[in-house]
Amino acid sequence: MSTVSRRALVSVSDKTGLEDFVKGLTELGFEILSTGGTRRFLQQAGIPVIDVTSYTGFPEIMDGRVKTLHPKVHGAILGRPTLPGDATAIEQHGIIPFQLVVVNLYPFQQTVARPDVTFDEAVENIDIGGPSMVRSAAKNHAHVAIVTQPQQYAEVLQQLRSGALDEAYRRRLAAAAFEMTATYDRAISDYLAKVVSDNSESSFGPRLTLSFRLQQTLRYGENPHQRAAFYVEDHPTPGTLATARQLNGKELSYNNLLDLDAARAAVLDFRQPAASVIKHNNPCGLAIAESLADAFHKAYEGDPVSAFGSIIGLNRVVDAATAEAMCAPGRFIEAVIAPGYDADALEILTTKPKWKANVRLMQVEFTDADRGAPDYRRVSGGLLVQDRDDLLQSDAGWQVVTKRAPSQAELADLKFAWAVCRHVKSNAIVFAKDGMLLGAGAGQMSRLDSSIIAAFKAGERSQGGVVASDAFFPFRDGIDAAAKAGIRSAIQPGGSKNDAEVIAACDQHGIAMMFTGMRHFRH
């Protein structure tokens, strides 16, 4: 038996804060045992360390695949010295129990997050010995404290200095340890499931396990009587809402988050400066222009009544002109999401009386990295999974089906209206002109009702404009309503058994129509 009273096993990949922590442990009388890399790191810092191989009498083998997987290591972690049977085994096999185990794992999640990662690299970053020690120590928390994160170091030292780590504290450490190994294993199984599904005919594996961590609890859900929280992925893709930073304003609500996501998505599709105005998850305004300020102005004026209390999405760094336009008298905005705010814009938006401390300003990188990610929707007792309908659009395969082809200006508006349309709840009808959404018929149970609403919203402005429909027009009535409003061009997927009747209606009204061959339902 050793004469030292306390032993710690330290084996970590992330060496953050390690030197100070282990120095603290040695000052408290701990003898330190470590694996190769950790031992070298600590010795370079002048800390006395025993190599774990000199304790086990067995070398590290197979490029480190086996370093701590030894009965003298696991016996020293799992042994219960207070039990006669365990005490005998400890004595017989020359085991020296550990009171503290400090382990963090190979960076599997960070490795597979790299776009250029190879399968072999990913596999080599699956830690085996580390989780085994963590699980052993967490199971035996009655005798052993398990430390798995650098963030725990300061508190652990403080607890040790004030006496000992009591059982309740060790149990908390054990709970954190099992949570860590569960997350780690889930990351491995998700990665492998993705590799398997990418290589198989069906993209969907036999089981789906999702893991999210709590980012914030929310005051309430869609309504005040509903509890709510925002959970995010462990390593969210840059540019997603989970990575957005709040620069100003009140606490975010559940509905704010939903609308901010829609506001960002609606402007992400455009390469020109674009602005979206979101209400209840639908754009009531959306526009593109030469400058961001003009885009915002056109978007807000698309439907200024509905825009009151809206969420704004902007796809350029906000400048002073756009900031001034958003603060103009009579405009009321709840939140803004943009890739940034220049110093002048931030000054304006954080000092204007109604904005300061009120309007939520969110900053997020605008990238395409998240496109095509899976989309999940809860139904009672299950989860619906699909590819998100957000791939960059192309006009390859579009065809003119009417006698008249759209003019260049009409074609530009048709492309714009088609891009807007997939952000509107079905049945979606969009009237647009000059890069500006004039009227949206959203979420109606009949396409004709959506057409009538879009025409009503657009009013006189729809003269010479275009209409986009997220799914085919089943009858000519939607086209008749658009023609009555002065629409000159239409875009829709086509594919109805009544296509001939709808095309004839367009020809009769002199409307040019294009079929895209792709539907954009958004239920």
Residues that bind ligand FAI (CB under 6 A): 11-13, 35-38, 64-69, 103-106, 127-130
One-letter amino acid at 357 equals A
One of 15, 70, 72, 280 is an active-site residue; which one? 280
- Nearest approach in angstroms of CB 56 to ligand FAI is 10
Cβ distance to ligand FAI smaller for residue 34 or 310: 34
One of 15, 23, 139, 250 is an active-site residue; which one? 139
Q: Is residue 23 flagged as an active site residue?
A: no
- Integer Cα distance of 203 and 185 in angstroms: 21
DSSP 279: E
Q: Count of alpha carbons within 13 Å of 102, Cβ hemisphere only? A: 31
One-letter amino acid at 27 equals E
- Nearest approach in angstroms of CB 78 to ligand FAI is 15
Q: Is residue 356 flagged as an active site residue?
A: no
Cβ distance to ligand FAI smaller for residue 66 or 504: 66
- Nearest approach in angstroms of CB 1 to ligand FAI is 25
- Nearest approach in angstroms of CB 521 to ligand FAI is 47
Task: State whether residue 247 is helix, strand or coil.
Answer: strand
- Integer Cα distance of 155 and 191 in angstroms: 33
Cβ distance to ligand FAI smaller for residue 15 or 522: 15
- Nearest approach in angstroms of CB 11 to ligand FAI is 4
Cβ distance to ligand FAI smaller for residue 66 or 327: 66
Cβ distance to ligand FAI smaller for residue 37 or 339: 37
Phi, psi dihedrals of residue 457, rounded to the nearest 5°: -65, -40
- Nearest approach in angstroms of CB 106 to ligand FAI is 5
Contacts of 278-281 with C-beta under 8 Å, sequence gap 24+, read 278/310, 278/311, 278/312, 278/313, 279/306, 279/307, 279/309, 279/310, 279/311, 281/425
| Nearest by Cα to 146 from 173, 124, 171 | 173
Cβ distance to ligand FAI smaller for residue 70 or 280: 70
- Token pair of 390 as six digits: 């957000």
Q: Please identify which residue in the block is written with the tokens 């798995």.
A: 148
Helices (H), 102-228: 108-113, 119-124, 129-139, 153-161, 167-198
Residue 134 and residue 181 in contact, taking contact as beta carbons nearer than 8 Å: yes
DSSP 278: E
Contacts of 202 (CB under 8 A, 6+ apart): none
b vs e for 455-483, b when ≥16 Cβ sit within 10 Å of the residue's Cβ? bebbeebbeebbbbbbbbbbebbbbbbbb
- Nearest approach in angstroms of CB 128 to ligand FAI is 4
- Between the two ends of the chain, the Cα-to-Cα distance in Å is 70
- Token pair of 145 as six digits: 């404290």
Cβ distance to ligand FAI smaller for residue 13 or 498: 13
Cβ distance to ligand FAI smaller for residue 70 or 80: 70
Instruction: For helices 343-351 and 320-327, give the axis angle rounded to 10 degrees.
Output: 20
- Nearest approach in angstroms of CB 318 to ligand FAI is 43
- Integer Cα distance of 168 and 154 in angstroms: 18
Cβ distance to ligand FAI smaller for residue 129 or 249: 129
- Nearest approach in angstroms of CB 386 to ligand FAI is 37
Work out whether strand 310-314 and strand 399-400 pair parallel, antiparallel, or are unpaired: unpaired
- Integer Cα distance of 50 and 32 in angstroms: 6
- For the annotated catalytic residues, the residue numbers are 139, 280
